[in-house]
């Protein structure tokens, strides 16, 4: 990455709680305010939609990496600037994390666990926001600080900044 | 696509001639001037690089969909705003064409033929710019005007506008 | 490939003519008789189905690499020994050709052209059986004999044997 | 699946301990003796290699789904009957689990967690063999018995049989 803006991948379940969605939205606003690009799964549901809409409303650039092939409002968030249509189903999770400078995981079931584990395997730093369940599964990555736990959007942003400063 | 800017996929070989690269660059400038997003294969070579650099210099938003996993200057054009790192090798060609509102193919060998054929199969309109070789292979798509031949950047832009007007 | 049986990828359209399907079936029987593994797109339609059923009936091992995620008789040929379910749509074409020692393309529209072009790009030898349309598009690969034209199943088998003898 | 043999996906880390590899090998022999097809990641390392070699020695059919594009002994286990070369890196994990009737996960780090989570998301039953770490992460799938914990190869085989009897 030479001169490009950092891409912050915001991941999380499509059936997140209202509280989880609000936390993701608050974080997404901070991402946009910071001038970072927000990348998410792009579907109009759960954490993806909350983060995309919030970053878009705050003037940020929003990229969605989608499982399907059609640019259809039922499948694609209206908040995206660019819809990457992969047609690859869940395999698109690998693209989400590889394309993110930092991955921030906000909650979730198996789909989010896939993204966290792919990010760790692919060498991308992961910040958990508002939960710590997966931290027990990856003690070595916690110790190496490739995986970090935060509880508030401001704390997550501070971690992202620290990671970017180190990598820059 | 509701309110999003059209994405023009500019495809072509990594070992294109200087003339082919200049034609792609001219077209890419028109794409940027028009306010469209330019999408390409993202590597620093051939048509991809010529189009990305020209659109970037003209102030356009440039997305690269890459075969590899690393954001490394040797593999990724410096002109990209967003690098989508797929780690999927040639299978990323499917993503390039599905994510493009219109595909413009500027020259090329097997890789470009893959993209043209995938676009036709995936229902995306294809404009050939500066060559007509593949037109003989797809006579039905020529007749249905899903595949069109143009010879100058201005002519290609006019076709893109016509396609977008019809689809919008 | 050390000691493994060659994998012959038989490609072709899902809406092939009866004549094309019969030619593919005859070739598939020869493949099975030879002890080669037959690989195809795995759907119950066109060339794929004709080749899979013929090789299966002749006692051959048949692998299908499928675009979908479900092992459903409406989507998956009953002649397969192994169904590789990719969930990746057309991007699975890349897997078909990479997994084939030799690709034999029997007819077809854009989907088959994708497979031929991906095979050429990926360094796999390609034998056209019963048509020569794509040969004009790839004159360099014709000259280098990475792409060859045949008109009968016996002729195609002879080419496959020659290629395997050279590579073995 | 109509009349096809079940495919048992054996997953696990490439840097597994000797004890883990022996347990995977014992299970793989039972899989082959039962007449099931064994599917694994196909590389000559860790659980994949232990399971592939054991099933192969016991006369079983062994399929490897590989991340790379080359059929090279340094990258591909010598025990495979068929090497599916995807060229898709980690995204091939999605193919592994979708192509398995039952997934048996023998140990592992992030890569294995990816496969377990993808299997659960894709509706495939998962049997853990010799560990239970991931069970805490997916309590709902444990309760629904889509995820089960076993400690010996015989116990894992009994679970696989139970699952197949129910699905058959």
pLDDT digits (tens, 9 = 90+) for B13-29: 999 999 999 999 999 99
Locate the DSSP E strands across B1-154. 7-11, 37-40, 62-66, 82-85, 102-105, 126-129, 147-150
User: Are the CB atoms for D148 and D128 separated by under 8 Å?
Assistant: yes
CA distance D86 to chain B (A): 8
Provide the whole-model pTM: 0.95
> Which chains have 3 or more CB–CB distances shorter than 8 Å to chain C?
A, B, D
Residue C3 has pLDDT above 80, yes or no: no
Size of chain B, expressed as the number of residues it contains: 168
Q: Give the tokens for residue D129.
A: 């063999």
CA distance C62 to chain D (A): 10
Q: Give the tokens for residue D40.
A: 């694994």
Phi-psi group of A87: left, alpha or beta (phi > 0 → left; psi -120 to 50 → alpha; rest → beta): left
Do B118 and C95 lie within an 8 Å CB cutoff? no
State CA A148 to chain mean position distance. Answer: 14
Question: CA gyration radius for chain C?
Answer: 14
Q: CA separation (Å) from D133 to A134, C8, D20, D114, D147? A: 11, 42, 14, 13, 12
Do C113 and B109 lie within an 8 Å CB cutoff? no
Q: Which residues of A touch C86 (CB under 8 A)?
A: 91
Mean pLDDT of chain C: 95
Residue A104 has pLDDT above 90, yes or no: yes
Q: CA separation (Å) from A54 to A49, A51, C54, D84? A: 8, 5, 56, 42
Alpha-helical regions (H) of chain D: 18-33, 46-57, 92-98, 110-121, 139-143, 153-167
Task: Answer whether A7 touches B (CB < 8 Å).
Answer: yes
Confidence of residue D2 (pLDDT cuts 50, 70, 90): low
CA-wise closest residue to C76 among C98, C96, C105, C52: C52
Identify the pLDDT of residue B16: 94
Contact residues, B window 113-142, toward A, CB-based 8 Å cutoff? 122
Confidence of residue B167 (pLDDT cuts 50, 70, 90): confident
- The share of chain B scoring above pLDDT 70, in percent, equals 98
How far apart are alpha carbons B47 and D36 in whole angstroms? Answer: 49
Mean pLDDT of chain B: 95
The backbone torsions φ and ψ at residue C137, rounded to the nearest 5 degrees and listed phi first, read -80, -20
CA-wise closest residue to B91 among C81, C90, C156: C90
């Amino acid at each position: 990455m030479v001169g490009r803006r950092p891409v912050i991948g915001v991941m999380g379940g499509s059936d997140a709680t209202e509280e989880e969605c609000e936390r993701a939205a608050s974080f997404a606003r901070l991402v946009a305010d910071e001038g970072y690009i927000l990348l998410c799964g792009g579907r109009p549901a759960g954490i993806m939609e909350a983060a995309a809409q919030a970053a878009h409303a705050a003037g940020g650039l929003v990229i969605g990496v989608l499982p399907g092939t059609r640019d259809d409002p039922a499948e694609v968030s209206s908040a995206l600037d660019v819809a990457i249509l992969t047609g690859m189903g869940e395999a698109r999770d690998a693209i989400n994390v590889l394309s993110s400078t930092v991955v921030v995981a906000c909650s979730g079931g198996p789909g989010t666990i896939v993204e966290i584990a792919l990010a760790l395997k692919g060498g991308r730093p992961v910040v958990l926001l508002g939960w710590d369940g997966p931290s027990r599964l990856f003690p070595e990555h916690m110790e190496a600080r490739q995986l970090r736990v935060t509880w508030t959007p401001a704390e997550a942003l501070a971690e992202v900044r620290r990671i970017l400063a180190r990598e820059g």
